[in-house]
Structure 1
Amino acid sequence: MLRTTLALMLATLSLGVMAQDYIIYPAAGQDAEQQKQDKMECQAWATENTGVDPVQLASQPAPASQQTGGERARGALGGAAAGAAIGAIAGDAGDGAAIGAGVGVLRGGAKQRHAAAANQQAQANAQAEKDSQMAMYGRAFKACMEGRQYTLQ
């Protein structure tokens, strides 16, 4: 559930950045057709000079996340087995298994939290990289349009 919510939130943020568009004013009296042509040429120029294609960037999948879930159960089983073995040596395999299972659940939970945090960090890093690339593309596009005597906001 947390992964799905995080992925949806990142996708929404990503689309917001991709959909951001400038308000363009033809400061030298360019007509609509000239503005359309200049915009297409500046988009191509920005892609060529930055290596960033906004369409391709938007379609990149999020980084694959590590599977989480089941760590507590696996920890409980492993801990119970180890606890039973130690308990058998000490004379009470049942108590040893119970203690081992409890410790295993705790270790499994810690592993699960660690994996979830790593997934969130990977998602955040990927989004930050996309944002950085789009900002660079936006600066290049703006420079091109301003060089053709448009005002951009």
Structure 2
Amino acid sequence: MEISFRETNERMARFEKAISEAGVKKTIQRLEIFREIASSVDHPDVETVYERVRERLPTVSLDTVYRTMWMLLDLGLISTLGASRDRTRFDANMENHHHFVCSRCGLTRDFYSEELDGIKIPESVKDFGSINKAHLEVVGICKQCAAKPKPIAQKEDTS
């Protein structure tokens, strides 16, 4: 599965509008960092974005990528996902969607579900605060990992 040219262009237009409205300078580094996330299906972490952007912009620094990713998050152009104890992953798909995450290799992919979009949030959640959005992260084993022999010492998370 790949991000369509149209979808990438829509995300890039959203980027242009958001940074303009925020008064943020549009730099080639920021543009390429966002383009990498916007055209990606694998929800890359900062280090992955850095390595990919560095192929096109050899002088980009890891610090620039980190600062830009957090700025994009603050502007509402990307979101984070995954456990905070692990590497933070980023997603430029701001439409309502959910995630499949492989517990072995970390593969992360979007999926859409009207049934999950309509899930009723328990009233008890309101005890924590107001709800802005909800998404589900499904954890399992991807097809590639399932086809490989499982290491003897590895246990599956059944929680």
The TM-score by the shorter chain falls in which range? under 0.3
Determine which structure has more spread, i.e. the larger CA radius of gyration.
Answer: 1
Greater strand percent: which structure? Answer: 2
Choose between structure 1 and 2 for higher RCO, CA contacts under 8 A separated by at least 6 residues: 1
Normalised to the residue count of structure 1, the TM-score between the two structures is 0.20
Greater helix percent: which structure? Answer: 1
Normalised to the residue count of structure 2, the TM-score between the two structures is 0.19
